[in-house]
Amino acid sequence: MKKNKIKKTPSRPTFLIIAGDGINCEKETKLAFQRSHAEAEIMHINDLLTSPARLFNFQGLAIPGGFSFGDELGSGQIMALKFKAVMNDLFQEYVAQRHPIIGICNGFQILVKMNLLPESGKKKRMFALAPNYGRQFIDRWVTLEVASNSICKWTEAIKGKKIRLPIRNGEGRVVFDKKWPSGPLYLAERGQIPLRYESKNSEVIDADSIAGVCDESGFILGMMPHPEAILLESHQHAIEDDILKSMVTYLQHS
């Protein structure tokens, strides 16, 4: 099988932003990458599925938030099935080559249902994103703690910091399979929980505190808060050091 090769642009890394069928944050995500000194292109999901090898024209991939396919069959389920049905092998090759991938909100749900998080390639999912308590839609600002021991390349430049981001979702509650009760502690000790919601007792590691998870390589990040939603200085909690910029900096110096 002929291996696909990436076209590299060292000074400005290139990212593909998925759009279409209910995803609704692609323009903000593109602008956020551009403001982080990266090149970004928006592509409809159908265009990528028609020509899957185009994925390798980009150093990284972003799946933004929204309500893909109206959350039918569950948040992110249909888009995850489409990816797996049409380009699963190419996706696995892309992951194996350690291209950075980020899934934001609905994108996080998609990555989980593709079995790319928290450990890629597992036959059985031991981790999911469930409806919030009381089935409430949450729309508010949250404070996140960036783990000092994070292996996630997306947080390489901001380890140990606290950041403020908006969150808006109806199915963002992390749950683990009952057969894996030690899951939160296991991932935390391995540095795979780079983002946690701030709490009074930050030493407690539980599923409810998890805001973002990375895979064992550190190149795939899924997170519920929206880093693309604080683009301008006029925004209430705009930050200088952010998650997207951290990855761009990593790629520029790796």
Q: Is 226 a catalytic residue?
A: yes
Catalytic residue among 26, 28, 105, 119: 105
Distance from C-alpha of 81 to C-alpha of 75, rounded to nearest angstrom:
12
Distance from C-alpha of 251 to C-alpha of 60, rounded to nearest angstrom:
10
Q: Is 228 a catalytic residue?
A: yes
Three-state secondary structure call for residue 80: helix
Q: What are φ and ψ of residue 219, in 5° steps?
A: -95, -15
Q: Which residues pair with 18 in a beta bridge?
A: 43
Distance from C-alpha of 45 to C-alpha of 43, rounded to nearest angstrom:
6
Catalytic residue among 28, 119, 171, 228: 228
User: Between helices 243-253 and 26-35, what is the axis angle to 10°?
Assistant: 50
Catalytic residue among 26, 152, 171, 226: 226
Strand extents, DSSP E, 39-180:
39-44, 60-63, 101-104, 127-130, 138-146, 162-169, 173-176
Q: Is 240 a catalytic residue?
A: no
Provide the annotated active-site residues. 105, 226, 228
